[in-house]
Structure 1
């Protein structure tokens, strides 16, 4: 009788098979939903403020996408997934205050953003763009370009395909070892298989990923979204044109990420 591989039989994660990413969808969705839990939800406005003046009245200068709990004091965090407390669940439309501190609203980036032109100073998105098909990414980036003021800043971070390919070619596998250790600290499933081919495949097929980028691919999608004439620069972890925005980079994702900023031309 053949014994099943250990990663398929770990009693701490029943039904978890790293080699079947489609079947893991519900399990990884459950992990995300756990991240979106909070103690309290307060409705601040019945609708998201649209104008620069309205946002400034709330002390808001920017939007952090893919964030249930933004750490920026002048930001609204947003995600498609609802935030839940023991007594309430966020819906699309209103603006909420989560745990008495940070602002949140639910947005679907495949839809037009409910904000006026030139309404925000900056937009930040960490590990979001790889979760949507390329046409959705182009649409969303076009909307971001529309809502940023002249001189405004977009900072994108996403898994860097070039780093993963280099990790695959590295026979010492230091990059993949670090990546497996990081995921273990989050308790995302049992230990991953240690095969290099698996570790390259997982960045394409796990965690709801739809399109993986290197620098050239990010520049391509920005170009398709109309960013000609913008200043586009590669940056390092927590280094950028606006230190307060760059500080939103998480150390957990430093080794695997590419950081790219696009800055709008100043008004003539």
Structure 2
């Protein structure tokens, strides 16, 4: 028995072939990276808080080709491209006349000074990277965030999948399948509970899946011990402008966690 899609909108789509779907998702991502125009606005990434401010930037959204935050710098490992040009690591680009972007590898040290940014946001990024790389990246994020700054992370919640496995029919798994079908994310998923657990580990290029305790462990290992770490809800958080970056696409399966940096100690009166 095969699960290859007979839906003409998704030719050859096989939910039970993770490697084949990885190739499909790679093509989809490549399409997202296409843009109408690229303009270099800075020959190098601004390093200091002042340099970032001069470009109107206060924070960074990772794994984002086009961050909608008006003061955000979008970053991704992959390049953006037009028919005549493509991004390279180093410069900051204006994408389609509206979004600032620079090409970064989160496995490398971040090119920003200490305490350079007010906020960092990453939606469904950490599950695509080995745990050790995530911890190294989080150390760098902690370094570049200013006192009082905010980190917001979102990722699929393993706890919801475990509970879904134990639920009767009609629970989280059924709702999640219906949601993806409504959003036209492939043909209908198989209804087997074991498949639903396996796909969150082996599909979409996933490398490590978190529950709240595991994500808190990664933060602690990266030195966030004295930061205030709180679980949040969709589009709710310490900064409304940062929480507004949450997309509704997979909110039903998502864990939202924020880490707020300690405020700077008050200056002594002279």
Name the TM tier (shorter chain): over 0.9
Q: Are 2:27 and 1:30 aligned? A: yes
Q: Residue 191 of structure 1 corresponds to which residue in structure 2?
A: 188
Partner residue of 2:233?
236
Q: Structure 1 residue 9: deviation in Å?
A: 5.1
- Structure 1's unaligned 5+ residue stretches are none
Cα deviation digits, residues 16-42 of structure 1 (max 9, x gap): 322121233222111111122221111
What is the aligned partner in structure 2 of residue 74 from structure 1? 71
| Deviation string, structure 1 residues 118-139 (Cα, Å, up to 9, x no partner) | 1000000010000000000000
Deviation at 1:185, TM superposition (A): 4.6
Aligned residues: 265
Select which of 108, 113, 128 maps to 1:116.
113
Is 1:17 matched up with 2:14? yes
- More displaced 10-residue stretch of structure 1: 162-171 or 97-106: 162-171
Partner of 2:163: 166
- Give the secondary-structure state (helix, strand or coil) at the position aligned to 2:18: coil
Which residue is equivalent to 2:144? 147
Aligned partners of 1:238 and 1:247 also within 8 Å = yes
Q: In the alignment, what sits opposite 1:105?
A: 102
- TM-align CA RMSD: 1.5
> 1:20 and 1:166 mapped to 2: Cα distance?
25
State whether residues 124 and 156 of structure 2, in contact with CA within 8 Å, keep that contact through their aligned partners in structure 1.
yes
- State whether structure 2 residue 133 is matched by structure 1 residue 136: yes
Tell me, which stretches of 5 or more residues in structure 2 are unaligned?
266-270
Residues 83 and 184 of structure 1: is their aligned pair in 2 closer, same or farther, counting only changes over 3 Å? farther
Instruction: Say if 2:222 is the partner of 1:220.
Output: no
Measure, in 2, the Cα distance between the counterparts of 1:23 and 1:112: 32
- Tell me, yes or no, if the aligned pair for 1:44 and 1:94 is still in contact at 8 Å: yes
Secondary structure in 2 aligned to 1:197? Answer: helix
Distance 1:167 1:202 in 2: 13
Does the CA-based 8 Å contact 2:3-2:14 persist in structure 1? Answer: no
Q: Secondary structure at the match of 2:4?
A: helix
SS in 1 for 2:161: helix
Give the Å deviation of 1:166. 1.3
**8 Å Cα contact 1:39-1:85 kept in structure 2:** yes
